[in-house]
Amino acid sequence: MPNKRQITRPAAAPETTLEAQVFVSMLRAADALARGAEALLKPSGLSATQYNVLRILRGAGPKGLACREVGCRMISRDPDITRLLDRMESRQLISRVREENDRRVVKTRITAEGLRILKDLDTPMADLHCRQLHQLSPKELRQLSRLLERAGAQTQHSEE
């Protein structure tokens, strides 16, 4: 039961390409980071997805965003924005109003309550990220960020 870093080429493993290695490392690292964030959010009763939506809406400002626009900016796509927002609205984190001009769209905005919760989380979240990545120097972080952006450059969005 080896718990080592170096690949031990276990039994039936087919030729492990460099790309496959990066694939696994990436998912693992991302999962570790996400898990930490979720743990931090749990006391607030927020899921990672909900937190992401709140940040997006804060970034969008008082003009708000259409349902679909929120979906586009999310880190992980959610095919069911409606009910995600339903839950958040019932918890008073966001508000929704149907547009007058184009009555198809529903503008979503963050509430004062949502802003408050988010604000309280800003520092703890930043601290968490630093703790999670403290093993890397600023130079390495920049390097990593650059590589990640290129690696994920398929479905590109812009957050907040």
Among 39, 61, 86, 87, binds a copy of itself (CB under 8 A): 61
Residue type at position 12: A
Q: Which residues bind DNA (CB under 7 A)?
A: 42, 47, 49, 66-69, 78-87, 96, 101-107
Among 42, 82, 87, 143, binds a copy of itself (CB under 8 A): 143
| Separation CA 149–CA 135 (nearest Å) | 20
Ramachandran angles phi, psi of 43, nearest 5°: -55, -30
Q: Which of residues 86-105 bind a copy of itself (CB under 8 A)?
A: none
Residue 155 binds to a copy of itself (criterion: CB under 8 A)? yes
Is 44 or 132 the residue whose CB approaches a copy of itself more closely?
132
**For the stretch 77-111, what's the b/e string if a residue is b when 16 or more beta carbons lie within 10 angstroms of its beta carbon?**
ebeebeebbeebeeeebbbeeeeeeeeeebbbbbb
Q: Taking CB within 5 to 8 Å according to partner kind, which of a copy of itself, DNA, none is near residue 103?
A: DNA
